[in-house]
Amino acid sequence: MSFVLNWIFTAIAIAFASWIVPGIAPFGPYEAWMCFLFAGMFLSLVNSLVKPIVSLLSLPVTIITLGIFQLVVNAFMLELASWLSVNVLGAGIAISGFTSALFGSIIISIGCAILGVAKR
């Protein structure tokens, strides 16, 4: 049940980020809410499977930059989830560039933190 709630909260945060950040938009033949659900599913999977490994490998750089590099890791995870959702399912979100992914990942992190507090 926790994964399903995380998935839904991530999809809501992605929808909010696409509304705020101009370089993020739903992509695919489905309605926008389905695209956000697909992207949310892949972002939840990427954050639980790939992100711990990448965070561990980038730990020296994260320490040197006093944690700022973790924003770059979050942006790459959003790009990876976007790429996976579009190429595997044919629908998801389209990200125009790295700056859009960076600002989108910040918005998504804040949104998931707010929604995560609400579920407790």
Q: For the segment 1-58, what is each residue's pLDDT rounded down to a tens digit?
A: 688 888 899 999 999 999 999 999 999 899 999 999 999 999 999 999 999 999 999 9
| Dihedral sign for Cα atoms in the order 43, 101, 8, 37 | negative
Torsion region of 101: left, alpha or beta (phi above 0 gives left; psi -120 to 50 gives alpha): alpha
Q: For the segment 59-99, what is each residue's pLDDT rounded down to a tens digit?
A: 999 999 999 999 999 999 999 999 999 999 999 999 999 99
CA–CA separation, 89 vs 72, rounded Å? 25
Residue length of the chain: 120
Identify whether the C-beta of residue 75 lies closer than 8 Å to the C-beta of residue 101: yes
CA–CA separation, 10 vs 111, rounded Å? 8
Q: For the segment 107-119, what is each residue's pLDDT rounded down to a tens digit?
A: 999 998 998 766 5
pTM: 0.92
